[in-house]
Homo-oligomer: A and B are copies of this chain.
Amino acid sequence: MKVLIVDDEEMIRAVLREYIEFEGGETDEAQDGMEAVKKCRENQYDVILMDIMMPKLDGFSAVKEIRKFSDTPVIMLSARGEEYDKLFGFEIGSDDYVTKPFSPKEVIARIHAVMKRAGGGKKPRDMYEFEGLKIDKVGRNVYVDGERVELTPKEYELLFYFVENAGVALTRERLLNQVWGYDFYGDDRTVDTHVKMLRGNLKEYRKFIVTLRGLGYKFET
């Protein structure tokens, strides 16, 4: 169970963290909506606890943004007790709400409830699978024969780009433009090095990344 706690007050985060970890859950934290959105793009959480009033990006907007790419259940932590908020929270795509001041136990209970609800109708996550190589794009996970392998950010991105262009001959230049960005002015060999590391991490499935001499690489199964 992995929970993202989003609140600008360290005190509140600490309390929630304490309780959740005591219950055996894993936690991650964000101080504002912006950070929350960023973290959600990078990680897969089971549930998100989201405060409403925060600097930079408020809870409502953060949820709206997160909903564009993820269905992770959200529990709003509303400091104001007004109906207005509750209503808005539901409309915006949150799954539950708790009004401050709340008891940690109540929050835990809600987490369990929401997860149970969500666990029932699970949506198929889009995954790529090539023999023993499994790639979960949303969760940013890669498995080699069932074993999860840790990749660095660039390795992930490179692998994803390869997979999404499986069978297509890719020049180093194209890879640099697409994976590194148009504003990268670096050495061609950078690609090679990352390919090397990626291959190393893919173990026996290194074979999927084939070298096209004089051109670049291709992901092919």
Chain A residues in contact with chain B, CB under 8 A? 56-58, 61, 64-65, 83, 86-87, 90-91, 103, 105-106, 108-109, 112, 138-140, 152-154, 167-169, 178, 181-183, 212-215, 218, 220
Contacts and interface: CB of A to CB of B under 8 A. Distances in A.
A183 B64 contact: no
Contacts of A56: 83
A140 B215 contact: yes
Given A57-B87, A61-B90, A90-B64, A138 B183 contact: no
Query: How many copies of this chain does one complex carry?
Result: 2
A214 B65 CA distance: 50
10 contacts: A57-B86, A61-B90, A105-B182, A108-B182, A138-B167, A139-B167, A139-B220, A140-B212, A152-B213, A154-B214
A21 B169 CA distance: 25
